[in-house]
Amino acid sequence: MLNEVVVFGQGYVGLPLALSVAEVGIKVLGIDTDYDRVHRIKNGISPIEDVSDSQLNKVLESDLFSVSSENTYPSSTTVVFICVPTPLAKSGKPDLSMLESAIISVGKGLKPGMLVIVESTVQPGTTRNFVLPILTKTSKLESQDFFLAFSPERVDPLNKDWGLKNTPKLVAGLTPEAGNKARIFYSQFIDDVILCPNLETAETAKLLENSFRLVNISLINEVAIFCKQLGISVNEVISAASSKPYGFMSFYPGLGAGGHCIPVDPIYLSEAAKDVGTPTKIIELASMRNQSMPNYFVERALEMLESLENKNILVLGISYKKNVSDIRESPVVKMIEILRLKGARVSWHDDLVGNFDDEFSVPITLNYDLIILATLHDYMDLSFMKDIKILDTSFG
């Protein structure tokens, strides 16, 4: 039995992973530099929708899971996971600052024989050419003294059908032995673990998965705009096309893809492609279309109101996805910014988010010139909305 597992990052990826490891009887320490998040977890309050308070408290009571905001870990540790965010910087380039900080912390405690697994999304070649040198330099160990692996996270918040246990898990190691050690470890709590031939294959597979989704979401948004102009329902078109039993997969239009994966991962692939002289034009065009959707709906609002200056607008839902509070890369936030730049007075309602950027969710009333349906959570009751202009970003 392993003595200790450490998970750097206790968000949508790291916390479910840490709890899953603890639930099979392995002692786990979760580390996160967000003091407020650590405080909530210590008090049995889950910071994410995928983990209930009852599940968290049950594992905390077992004494197999603890959490800390300190970047040090016990000498008994045998496995370390890195699950920290790798967002885009303001320049649009990958930001590896949090990953670098975590790697340095891991390196300071690294000992011979330990297994280090990176789950943070990265460009192909990052584990080999960025993570490994920092670990060897910080730890003063040689690469053959420890085991390094990469395993891309596959987290879809609130997906009732596919979770950590039953979603196939990709793993790859710097060496065959490292890959096999990672595969054996994951197999203790994941049903299907797939060993990739090398690190770069696993890194690229993650980026391909979400580039596929971005391209298809952007495509259906273009078709939706066409159908709107033509005067037909894009959702009825999708329904008709989905009757084909092969070669078609349904995607649905909206304000644009947000979250920590779909708008971000394709940029990682695109940047890596530029580095080797093979630009991914389709991905770049899809990203442009995705980023243009907030502007499109601002123009729709302008058509409905004739002017946005001093118009009172209520936006329903500012998170990137239904029934979650996550606002990372939310296209709703961008739409609100554009509306305000054009002179509109914009309020928003989203009780799951509650407060964001020193603003707070307001009650739903009809005292507005326009209500924009952005991210509709299940708790929202729209039945009373009559005799008011409504803009539905789902093209409904």
Residues in the chain: 396
Identify the CA nearest to 15 among candidates 226, 191, 208, 157: 157
d(CA 257, CA 240): 23
d(CA 384, CA 353): 23
Residue 336 CB burial class (10 angstroms; 0-12, 13-18, ≥19): buried
Determine contact, residues 117/21, Cβ cutoff 8 Å: no
Contacts of 385 by beta carbon, 8 Å cutoff, 6+ apart: 366, 371
Determine contact, residues 258/328, Cβ cutoff 8 Å: yes
Distance of CA 44 to the CA centre of its chain: 23
What is the rounded radius of gyration, in angstroms, for the C-alpha atoms of the chain? 23
Determine contact, residues 305/389, Cβ cutoff 8 Å: yes
The H or E element containing residue 347 is: strand 345-349
Amino acid at residue number 142: E
d(CA 296, CA 281): 22
Identify the CA nearest to 204 among candidates 259, 257, 271: 271
Check if 261 is active-site. Answer: yes
Distances (CA, A) of 87 to 91, 217, 243, 336, 395: 11, 20, 38, 21, 29
Amino acid at residue number 173: G
The H or E element containing residue 292 is: helix 281-305
Catalytic hit among 83, 196, 227, 261: 261
d(CA 379, CA 351): 9
Residues tagged active-site: 261
